[in-house]
Amino acid sequence: MTAKQFIHATGEQPVTATALKAKIEVLEVEIAKLEALIADHQTEFRAAPIERDQAEQRLADLLRMTADLMSAREAVARLAGELSALRSFRSLRPWWWRMLAG
């Protein structure tokens, strides 16, 4: 089956060179718009160093607080394990020892 027969068998319209050129022109226009948008964003980004510094400082604070939170959670988990170990050890002592120790 040739390519032309396959195109007609699948029901697709054959693509012409003018249709492709039109699509290319549309895409080139969209690319130009995106490049202009990128240029605008770059100028805004460069124009606001104070805001960028504040954002970087807030990000650093957030990362530090996240690290503190993770270490606190690890400490809680460690202490909970120690507490359960102490409770299980306490229940292993004889009843009279528990009465004396309180």
- What residue numbers bound the domain in which 63 lies? 49-102
- For residues 97 and 55, membership in a common domain is answered with yes
The SS3 of residue 16 is coil
- For residues 19 and 39, membership in a common domain is answered with yes
The SS3 of residue 86 is helix
- For residues 53 and 94, membership in a common domain is answered with yes
Write down the pTM of the prediction. Answer: 0.42
- For residues 68 and 90, membership in a common domain is answered with yes
- For residues 78 and 95, membership in a common domain is answered with yes
- For residues 55 and 35, membership in a common domain is answered with no
- For residues 7 and 24, membership in a common domain is answered with yes
**What percentage of residues in the chain have a pLDDT greater than 70?**
81
Between residues 47 and 19, which one has the greater pLDDT? 19
User: 37 is written with which tokens?
Assistant: 């948008």
- For residues 68 and 42, membership in a common domain is answered with no
Residues 13-38 as b/e (b if ≥16 CB within 10 A, e otherwise) read eeeeeeeeeeeeeeeeeeeeeeeeee
**pLDDT at 101 exceeding the cut of 90:** no
21-67 per-position pLDDT tens digit: 889 999 999 999 999 999 988 888 777 677 778 888 999 999 999 99
- For residues 73 and 62, membership in a common domain is answered with yes
77-97 per-position pLDDT tens digit: 999 988 888 878 777 777 777
pLDDT at 41: 86
Structural domain total, the chain: 2
